[in-house]
Amino acid sequence: MQRKPYPGSIHWFTSVDSTNRVAREMAQKGAPDWTVVVAEQQTAGKGRYRRRWFSPAGKGLYLSIILRPDILPEQMNLVNLTSALAVAEFLEKLTQREKRPLSPALKWPNDVMINGRKISGILLESGFKGKRIDYLIAGIGINVNQDAAEFPPDLRSRTTSLKRETGRLRPIEALTAPFLTGFYRRLSAALQTGFREVVSQYRNRLYWTDRMVELRLPGRILRGVPEDLDEWGFLRLRTDRGLIKITAGDLWEMTEGDES
Ligand code: BTN
């Protein structure tokens, strides 16, 4: 069976502030669906909730994909989950025949975890025309060649890289095409036939289903156990007041003593 090639044009940069920022500018000027911006280095890589994304040259894959899907705003979360699933599947496939094959888990909504540490994150941004989605930017960062000591001290215990997990250094350019092919296959199938398969595959990788965690929301904290996803990809959190549907937020491990 012949594989469909990646349909979008790929724009390579040596250094940008943020590939998401560059992609947004291109989207606003009319860049088509599936256009990709890749950079060797970002000087102001952005994470979720205004955090920064540590992006030195040669250490990670930093790319942003412009999407123009015909979906409802409520389905944006499903694109987010599909992107995280595509990263997990890519890392699993990449290492499947190696000495230390990886089996990534997904911390809702879009952190990719290996052995309890984050290896990749996704920042999904959007532009609207009236009430309709004009474009989405799926910004994806994967830690590839960092040693533990190269992460900033505040991130070191919670972050990992392919090098740290498998012991191998990898050329970043060689990862881009296989990642994009898998991403395209997953997302285009979901856009054509629905997100049921994505939700089902995501469920199998759902992280922290065995413990109480904290969901940090602006101004309040909810505690519970991640139990499942609904068909929209929203999280069902088991709390002492029953199952609660979570549509946004960030999950954190409970600090010791919190449970009492
Ligand atoms: C997160 O986990 O907080 C999301 C991190 C997303 C980082 C990527 S790197 C490529 C793209 N450009 C950015 O500025 N951010 C995303």
Question: Which ligand 1 atom is nearest residue 49's CA?
Answer: 3
- The pLDDT of residue 256: 57
| Residue 244 structure tokens | 């609660």
Distance from Cα 102 to the centre of ligand 1, integer Å? 22
* 38 and 26 Cβ atoms separated by less than 8 Å: no
pLDDT (tens, 9 = 90+) of the chain, 260 residues, equals 556 789 999 999 999 999 999 999 999 999 999 999 999 999 999 999 889 999 999 999 999 999 999 999 999 999 999 999 999 999 999 999 999 999 999 999 999 999 999 999 999 999 999 999 999 999 999 999 999 999 989 888 999 999 999 999 999 999 999 999 999 999 999 999 999 999 999 999 999 888 899 998 878 889 999 999 999 999 999 999 999 999 998 899 886 555 43
Query: What's the DSSP call for residue 150?
Result: G
Give the relative orientation of helices 196-204 and 76-95 as an angle to the nearest 10 degrees. 50
Say yes or no: CB of residue 124 within 6 Å of ligand 1. no
Q: Whose CA is nearest to atom 10 of ligand 1?
A: 62
- The pLDDT of residue 81: 98
Distance from Cα 224 to the centre of ligand 1, integer Å? 27
Instruction: Give the H or E element holding residue 198.
Output: helix 196-204
pTM of the complete model: 0.95
Say yes or no: CB of residue 52 within 6 Å of ligand 1. no
Distance from Cα 209 to the centre of ligand 1, integer Å? 25
Spatial separation of the C-alpha atoms in residues 218 and 179, rounded to whole Å = 34
- The pLDDT of residue 215: 93
Distance from Cα 42 to the centre of ligand 1, integer Å? 10
Nearest to 16 by CA among 146, 120, 139, 148: 139
Distance from Cα 258 to the centre of ligand 1, integer Å? 30
Sheet holding 242-246, edge to edge: 242-246, 235-239, 220-229, 213-217, 250-253
Say yes or no: CB of residue 146 within 6 Å of ligand 1. no
Say yes or no: CB of residue 20 within 6 Å of ligand 1. yes
Question: Which ligand 1 atom is nearest residue 141's CA?
Answer: 9
Q: Of 140, 143, 155, which is best to mutate to test ligand 1, by the most ligand atoms within 8 angstroms of its C-beta?
A: 140
